[in-house]
Structure 1
Amino acid sequence: MATNFRHPSYTSTIMFDSAFKLLLRRLGLMLCLYMLLRLLFYIFNYSAFADASSGQTFLAFVYGLRFDLAAITAVNAPFILLSLFPIGNILNPSYQRFLKVWFIVTNAPFIALALVDVEFFKFIGKRSSNELATITGDILDQLGQLAQYYWYLILAFVVFLILLSKIYPKQTAPVIVQKNIMVRSLRLLLVAALAVMAIRGGIQLKPLRVNHAFVLEPASLGHLSLNSPFTFIKGIGQPQLEQKHFFPDEQSLVTAMAFDPGKFSHPTEEQRQENVVVIILESFSAEYVGALNNGKGYTPFLDSLSTQGLLFHNAFANGRKSIEALPSVLAGLPSLMQEPYITSAYQANRLVGLGTVLQDAGYHTAFFHGAANGTMGFNNFSKIAGVQEYYGLDEYPEELREKDFDGQWGIFDEPYLQYVSRTLTEYKKPFFATLFTLSSHHPYTIPGKYKGRFPKGELEIHESIGYADHALRKFFKTASKQPWYSNTLFIITADHTQKSADPAYQNELGHYRVPLIIFHPTQDLQNINLKQVVQHADLYPTIVDYLNIKTDKVLPFGRSVFDTGKTGNAILYNNNSYFLVQQDQVVELDQEDQAKVYSFPDLTPSPSLNPEAEQKLKAYVQYYRNAMVHNKLYFWND
């Protein structure tokens, strides 16, 4: 019988012919195989997931299907094209044998990678990414020893390949070939569209990323939901950090950073049961705040609030983008590489956020951002940081959404902040909430009824700064009438700076200078040095210190602003050099690891270099890079 025979009960317009059914069965086989590999991964690394209940573990397996579909489709994209090629007899026996060989050869390396991760996960604490490329030489040098020690993985690989070859779906039913080239072409286009959707993980705002896996509790289940082919593919093209070796061991690093890993492990006072609200203002430079610039500014409410709280004169963001702010604020991790942590090759590294620490201390935690869900990966990172509830545009009351939408990004600040105030009132106390505003984001839209009310200023952003400041005034007015207000610590800062009109801010430090206000309605927070250098990475230890929380999960970069025994500093990276900002000097470490020193704050070159400051900056750089590469940010208790 000719292989292009068409069964008489089918017409030429049938889409589900034999070739298409075969393709679905073969991809289904890979889906089952990936699930089997996940089960093997789970068994060998059970201790990493022992804290999860059986129900949570089951959900992690189910959620993993999304990542499996993405990886299988990406790996087998050429196979899909060849299986549904619109021209010729694709069911010819010789062609089908070619497809089988292609299928096995293409998938074999990724099966091997998944098997390697069964053991490699124990060493790096995450699924493999493109860091494998940096250790290929070491693997080849030790190949014989590795093969001898992990022989069972090689055996498993052989078994998987034999299994794949034996149960690879073949044509058994009567051959039904769709002859109409136009229909076959349209079908291929439809399948291609579905394949793109599978690879990007759906039709959501941002394509599927590694950190999307960390949405379940406990967060460690994210590694179970992921698969190694997906993390490896996502890591292709992402820059890897070069390790540094200024110091011989971890103890010398700790000494140079003047870091005490157990600083907050044994607080002498009883834990405070106070709420904490962190407000991150979109694109607010310190330049816009009148209280920091002899009254010249666009923030009358912040200026008045600063007289009742603590306004720091030398506060710095640890990055230049919104996406870089959250790791600094919620995890104490500054942005010290070219790629933002949230989208980097290290996004699956172990990171203990402020939300996790406060949850363990009995806090209800939430994150509010009135933009579209998924914007800048905030929803996923907030989960990684231990925040229980995420509120985005989708959670805003539907009956108010159209009226309060700014036409670009999300909900205008004034109505959104009122919504946050009402929502917080419903929370169990104590709570920890982070609020990220958006109206001062380009194109700086403000509601029509406020046109002409706020100063236009010299830059297009200035009017929206005035509106955002007004929205804050209304928020505090409403909040002050709520039962939780008097027992709440407020921290107000900005994610990053924006355009500048003042030459005093048009330098390397000015690009990072943001406002930072700490305010409590009923507590006296005085006797603090307001000229000290502070940074976003200080907020985590500051909150832990203020609340007397017990934890050893505070990273070395930050310090509590209430700690009068330590000198403040900020660490910055401009994609070329690292900077350590201190109150008496600024140390720069360039790409050649050469140190330079400048005066603070005018950045005048200085002939005298403080050796301790240079060593401290080098220690920060080595710790950050090497800990990222080895997933050892918490090496003191790993």
Structure 2
Amino acid sequence: MFDSAFKLLLRRLGLLLGLYMLLRLVFYLFNYSTFSGAGASETILAFVHGLRFDAAAILAVNSLFILLSLLPVGNTLHPTYQKALKWVFLLCNAPFIALALVDVEFFKFIGRRSSNEVFTIAGDVTAQLGQLLGYYWYLLLGFGLLLFLLVKIYPKAPAHTSPQPKVWLRGLRLLLVAGFMVLGIRGGLQLKPLRPSHAFVLEPAVLGHLTLNSPFTFIKGIGKTQLEQKHYFDSDEALLAALQFDPQQYAQPDEPLKQDNVVIIILESFSAEYVGALNKGRGYTPFLDSLAQEGVLYKNAFANGRKSIEALPSILAGVPALMQDPFITSPYQANELYGLGTLLQQANYKTAMFHGAANGSMGFNNFATRVGVQAYYGLDEYPEDLRERDFDGQWGIFDEPYLQYVARQLTQMQKPFMAMLFTLSSHQPYTIPSKYKGRFPKGELEIHESIGYADHALREFFATAAKQPWYSNTLFIITADHTQKSIDPTYQNEPGYYRVPLLLFHPGGNLSALNATSIAQHADIPATIIDFLNIPTTKLLPFGRSLFDSTSTGRAVLFNGNAYLLVQPEVVTVLEQNDEVSFYSFQDFAPGAAPAPRAAELLKAQVQYFRNKMVANKLYFWEER
């Protein structure tokens, strides 16, 4: 296997690995001010961690070169063939070397490594090519120098080589190498392939940009939807006014900082349709119904997306799902983002997320780290001696034992804390433990029985939590990630597809300021927690509002894949892709509601802000003013 041809290939790929590390060093030096806040050890770790992303990019870019280098037939060491291979090597790698050099300066403008947005600016670059080359001549010089060095130190085939292995052995070797290439490109054996978000595991999070390389982020961006910018408002001042948003609203709280704990519970697939307290007693959630009597259950609450992977950005960072790709897997996943974990850490909170599914499921663990959550507890962290007994056979740990485990872990956490718990038993195929078969109503849909079991698990969790010293000093926020199957026509319209329960409960607190009849949404949760705890910040996004704000009747912004919806108590405003606006009644989503110009202006402002500031990586643009 390790004949001359294979050793030669390894040397050439090793050369690229060194080149990528050199490019990372250049990137670091040119953008030193961005990373200067990190310590030496963290910076070195970012460089080392980057080797994983470098290997993935090099293998992807050089797939053809590797295949041609290890062809099982013919003399691949023949001088003429080797000359052709050298051209393939240079042509495959030169564009990505150029991209990495361009990113040295382009990073200063967009705050992240380049993705496929380079396609969208190609026309502008071509038109301004002369000016750009004049200004950034040193990048062109560096590119030429790197190519010259690559040509000069490109490992050459030895003049005298040993006989090549037999054809069948070379064929077998190529198959093995192909397998290792697939493994390298996906980044290892973990559940999900390597993504840009996996780079953001160090503190400060900005080191993730140093860990990444531009060829990797570009390749990962291929096929991803790029947001088309909108220009309804011609200035940031006009945009802020239309958004009806004051970034300084929470900058100086009137009250001192609280030390209450916060527990966010996300119930898998709990449509509002399944909750008895929202449907005149018709439902499958007796415990949640009883808890609603002690807390505040919103009559009109909405998820900002239709998938589990879309729930976390809304709940933890206030980013609604307003594009085709989930934020977690989009080209913008590396954008600057301040989540609840980051903001609460500044107030000395400990933060954690619990999800009983396999680590890496839907990228939750990496996104949680991305928004400042310090500890992640997945299937791997669940006690090994209990794993087999409590495993549901499909996704992870059954809700009842897992929620008991979470209650014990919360008791051990340093106070104050913020924790998120994501259940899973009410996920398809809706498995419940055999000992509970027949205990919960079957209902009319196959999910209904598992909803009953998940509600029971929630009851047992609160029974255990109520005995813990942290319980009375904790704000609980309970919601669902998204809706599920429906049989009630009331929910079978565009807003209805997003309606979920949203309940706030505090055993020792007063929630009388909350208005349960107002509109609520997932994107309201960050502002609600920040407002409740009196944490000063200017890093909340304009989509949500604090549910403690009694001056607002609330709103929810949604995207159904074709149009944007702004849900308000008076009207539902719909903005089509062609910018046409229409109005519907809130109660039954019937067309022909009276025009609401201010609502249309607000929706357009939210769409422009989301698209333009996401593309420019300036979601907090007021911080630069």
Query: For residues 243 and 31 of structure 2, what CA distance do their matches in structure 1 show?
Result: 34
Query: Alpha-carbon deviations, 1:535-590, whole Å to 9, x = none?
Result: 00000000000000011110000000100122310000000110000011100001
Q: Which residue type is aligned with residue 149 of structure 1?
A: Y
Deviates more, 1:44-53 or 1:401-410: 44-53
The answer to whether the aligner puts 1:160 opposite 2:146 as a matched pair is: yes
Aligned to 2:393: 407
Aligned to 1:278: 264
Query: For residues 217 and 89 of structure 1, what CA distance do their matches in structure 2 show?
Result: 50
Query: Alpha-carbon deviations, 1:151-210, whole Å to 9, x = none?
Result: 111111011001101111112374023240000000000000000100000111111111
Query: Alpha-carbon deviations, 1:474-508, whole Å to 9, x = none?
Result: 00000011111111000000000000111111111
Aligned to 2:526: 540
Q: For the aligned residues, what is the CA RMSD?
A: 0.8
Q: Which residue type is aligned with residue 321 of structure 2?
A: S
Alignment partner of 1:177: what SS?
Answer: coil
The answer to whether the aligner puts 1:199 opposite 2:185 as a matched pair is: yes
Say whether the 8 Å CA contact 1:393–1:410 is kept in structure 2: yes
The answer to whether the aligner puts 1:352 opposite 2:338 as a matched pair is: yes
Aligned to 1:88: 74
Alignment partner of 1:194: what SS?
Answer: helix
Aligned to 1:457: 443
| Superposition pairs of residues 317-466 of structure 1, within 5 angstroms | 317-466=303-452
Say whether the 8 Å CA contact 2:298–2:501 is kept in structure 1: yes
Deviates more, 1:344-353 or 1:573-582: 344-353
Question: Which of 53, 57, 60 in structure 1 is aligned with 2:39?
Answer: 53
Query: Alpha-carbon deviations, 1:336-359, whole Å to 9, x = none?
Result: 001111111111111111100001
Alignment partner of 2:487: what SS?
Answer: coil
Aligned to 2:599: 613
The answer to whether the aligner puts 1:126 opposite 2:112 as a matched pair is: yes
**TM-score normalised per structure 2:** 0.99
Q: Which residue type is aligned with residue 82 of structure 1?
A: L
| Superposition pairs of residues 190-339 of structure 1, within 5 angstroms | 190-339=176-325
Say whether the 8 Å CA contact 2:425–2:432 is kept in structure 1: yes
Query: For residues 530 and 360 of structure 1, what CA distance do their matches in structure 2 show?
Result: 30
The answer to whether the aligner puts 1:72 opposite 2:55 as a matched pair is: no
Structure 1 unaligned runs (5+)?
A: 1-14
Query: For residues 176 and 613 of structure 1, what CA distance do their matches in structure 2 show?
Result: 77
**TM-score normalised per structure 1:** 0.97
Q: Which residue type is aligned with residue 341 of structure 2?
A: G
The answer to whether the aligner puts 1:17 opposite 2:8 as a matched pair is: no
Alignment partner of 2:420: what SS?
Answer: strand
Query: For residues 260 and 98 of structure 2, what CA distance do their matches in structure 1 show?
Result: 51
Q: 1:232 to 1:445 in 2, by over 3 A?
A: same
Q: Which residue type is aligned with residue 388 of structure 1?
A: Q
Say whether the 8 Å CA contact 1:329–1:540 is kept in structure 2: yes
Query: Alpha-carbon deviations, 1:119-162, whole Å to 9, x = none?
Result: 00000000000001011111011111111111111111011001
The answer to whether the aligner puts 1:622 opposite 2:608 as a matched pair is: yes
Aligned to 1:589: 575
Query: For residues 587 and 147 of structure 1, what CA distance do their matches in structure 2 show?
Result: 47
Alignment partner of 1:119: what SS?
Answer: helix
Alignment partner of 2:247: what SS?
Answer: coil
Structure 2 unaligned runs (5+)?
A: none
Aligned to 2:24: 38
| 1:591 Cα offset (Å) | 1.5
Say whether the 8 Å CA contact 1:413–1:468 is kept in structure 2: yes
Aligned to 1:529: 515
Q: Which residue type is aligned with residue 176 of structure 2?
A: L
Say whether the 8 Å CA contact 2:513–2:550 is kept in structure 1: no
Say whether the 8 Å CA contact 1:364–1:430 is kept in structure 2: yes
Say whether the 8 Å CA contact 2:585–2:593 is kept in structure 1: no
Say whether the 8 Å CA contact 1:22–1:171 is kept in structure 2: yes
Question: Which of 485, 494, 501 in structure 1 is aligned with 2:480?
Answer: 494
Query: For residues 490 and 127 of structure 2, what CA distance do their matches in structure 1 show?
Result: 55
Aligned to 1:8: none
Q: Which residue type is aligned with residue 237 of structure 1?
A: G
Say whether the 8 Å CA contact 1:19–1:177 is kept in structure 2: no
Query: For residues 593 and 475 of structure 2, what CA distance do their matches in structure 1 show?
Result: 43
Query: For residues 233 and 539 of structure 1, what CA distance do their matches in structure 2 show?
Result: 34
Q: Which residue type is aligned with residue 366 of structure 1?
A: A
The answer to whether the aligner puts 1:62 opposite 2:78 as a matched pair is: no
Say whether the 8 Å CA contact 1:274–1:547 is kept in structure 2: yes
Query: For residues 301 and 419 of structure 1, what CA distance do their matches in structure 2 show?
Result: 20
Query: Alpha-carbon deviations, 1:495-537, whole Å to 9, x = none?
Result: 0000011111111111000000000001121142211001000
Aligned to 1:515: 501
Q: Which residue type is aligned with residue 235 of structure 2?
A: D
What is the count of residue pairs matched by the alignment? 624
Aligned to 1:561: 547
Say whether the 8 Å CA contact 2:399–2:454 is kept in structure 1: yes
Say whether the 8 Å CA contact 2:295–2:504 is kept in structure 1: yes
